[in-house]
Amino acid sequence: MSTEPTIFEKSRSGRVGVQMPTCDVPVVDMESLLPGVALRAGLPLPELSEGDVMRHFLRISQKNYCVDKGFYPLGSCTMKYNPKINDVAVQMPGFARVHPFQPEETVQGTLQVLFDMQNWLSAILGMDAVSLQPAAGAHGELLGLMLIRAYHVSRGDAHRNLVLVPTAAHGTNPASAARCGYKTVPITTDERGLTCIDDLKRQIAACGDNLAGMMLTNPNTVGLFEEEICLICELVHAAGGQMYCDGANMNALVGTARPGDMGFDVMHVNLHKTFSVPHGGGGPGSGPVGIKAHLAPFLPVPVVVQDDAGVYRLNYDLPQTIGKVGPYYGAYLAVVRGWAYIAHFGKQNIHMISEDAVLNANYLRVELGRTLDIAYDRICMHEAVFSLKNLKAQTGIKALEVAKRIIDYGYHPPTMYFPLIVPECLMIEPTETESLETIDAFIVAMEKIVAECHTDPETVKSAPHTAPVGRIDEATAARNLDLSWPIGA
């Protein structure tokens, strides 16, 4: 295994990558410009030629796996191909060079994009209004719960502090609830992979008038549609709670079903999942939040409005607003990418996204189900969930080792060990952008790996063999983090 030297190791004193012109403005005293700010002195920077810098970063970028290279079947993450027309859109000067402090009359096109997205997402989600400020799905969760809290406080129900969360929920759900000052109450999953209605009724009764709401992912985290969703919403509403929909799995519904019509009061949706904005590596993401009309007074400001003359304005006049949850108006260029994606499909064809995603997932479920055990053997939505419990019992090989062996076949591993209610879990989401040939090739690779588990288990256990980095001691790496590079080491 070859080790790529760091750019600091390649540094040689005196080498210059770019020659800057002589400064023709007075030198600014940074300490007077930024009083009280700790400024670093003598920051060591690597010294290399431009060619060396370009080759270094190109070489290490080629070691990375990305959705442009191949199949990226991370369940629940919706790693679909990102159309390059979106890149063209965000590079247009009218989008790329706009400044958030420009007067409203000079950025009417920008405000129209934001206004369109507010309205388009409201229609797609079945909601009455949308905030574009959250920078990620979890950020959207936090905003949604803040809106629920503000609503209860405005009604004199500040004592409501309990939130129902299914045991199969995304980990961000209980974390967001806790961050908002709520306590979570777990709801069990029944043998069919759905919310246990009997347990839900018991917990609602136990919460009494302290129930603030319920966070529910639909489709849920095992890729199944909650068949009793209308009843669930009715039960929570009857107890005075609000229904929050985790929109991480909206790719299964877009254009065909609307959570707002099911009874949800608030939800987030990920532009960097459902609407093809690139994600991973720290962002930028975007997690807009849609709400019903009774939560609109509490939205963060500003929201974009259009007056009778057709002029777009930023409305800060919301007396009950919770304030801001992000800078300016959200991740604007992420919104532009999502806008371009929705505009490409249009109202007439947007249903193709979810229909093809569900078709791909069920095809994979049936075909791969001949080799692996399906966690819940029934029609799924956007992702198929398998359990390798029996394979482990027969061969001693865990889901983690199968996932690492997948790397040798040229694919990114799927999500593993989530949700926790499925033992030795592999969650696979093909999305709508993968071809039949790609899915078939992946299924063949998985079949070969399962065969290897029986005939050549050591090869699987020691995988990956072709990746830039092989098997590492993950427990030690997690406990002894090395996050910096010592100069001169």
**Tokens of residue 463, six digits:** 């995988």
| pLDDT for the residue 234 | 98
Closest to 337 in 3D by CA, of 101, 81, 69? 81
Specify the pTM.
Answer: 0.91
Q: How close are the terminal C-alpha atoms of the chain, in Å? A: 21
Is residue 463 predicted with pLDDT exceeding 90?
Answer: yes
Q: How many residues appear in the chain?
A: 489
Determine which helix (DSSP H) or strand (DSSP E) holds 441, and give its type and residue range.
helix 436-455
Separation of alpha carbons 282 and 55, rounded Å: 23
Over pLDDT 90: what percentage of the chain?
A: 83
Give the pLDDT of residue 235. 98
Would the pLDDT of 80 be above 90? yes
- Domain boundaries in the chain? 6-18+44-61, 98-349, 352-477
Span 107-129, average pLDDT: 97
CB of 77 within 8 A of CB of 273? yes
Amino acid in the structure at residue 249: N
Between the CA of residue 210 and those of 68, 164, 207, 242, what are the distances in Å?
A: 48, 11, 5, 12
Note if the bond before 284 is cis, omega within 30 degrees: yes
Segment 76-103 shows an average pLDDT of 93
Domains 98-349 and 352-477 belong to one CATH topology? no
Average pLDDT over residues 206-220: 97
**Separation CA 50–CA 189 (nearest Å):** 57
Q: What is the architecture, at CATH level 2, of domain 352-477? A: Alpha-Beta Complex (3.90)
Share of the chain above pLDDT 70, in %: 98
Is pLDDT of 45 > 80? yes
The amino acid that residue 57 corresponds to is: F
Q: Return phi, psi of residue 218, to 5°.
A: -140, 115
pLDDT of res. 382: 97
In this prediction, residue 250 has a pLDDT band, given cuts at 50, 70 and 90, of: very high
Q: Average pLDDT in the 291-308 region?
A: 97
Going by their DSSP bridges, the two strands 242-246 and 266-268 should be labelled as: parallel
**Does residue 282 surpass a pLDDT of 60?**
no
Extract long-range pairs of 355-358: CB within 8 Å, 24+ residues apart. 355/255, 355/256, 355/432, 356/432, 357/251, 357/252, 357/382, 357/430, 357/431, 357/432, 358/252, 358/382
489 SS3 class:
coil
Long-range residue pairs from 226-232, CB within 8 A, at least 24 positions apart, any chain:
226/194, 226/195, 227/194, 228/194, 228/195, 228/197, 229/262, 229/263, 230/262, 230/263, 231/197, 232/195, 232/197, 232/200, 232/263
Residue type, 123: A
CA 113 to each of CA 182, 241, 254, 265, 329: distance values in angstroms, whole numbers, following the listed order: 35, 34, 20, 25, 12
The pLDDT of residue 266 is 98
Yes or no: domain 98-349 corresponds to CATH 3.40.640.10: yes
DSSP string, 385-398: EEE-HHHHHHH---
Dist CA 259 CA 108 (whole Å):
31
424 Cβ contact partners less than 8 Å away, ≥ 6 residues apart: 387, 388, 389, 391, 392, 398, 399, 417
Averaged pLDDT, 479-487 = 75
pLDDT of residue 281: 59
Q: Residue 379 and residue 372: Cα distance in Å, rounded?
A: 16
Mark 360-381 as b/e (b = at least 16 C-beta within 10 Å).
bbbbbbebbeeebebbbeeebb
75: nearest Cα among 187, 217, 244: 217
- Please say if the pLDDT value at position 475 is more than 90: no
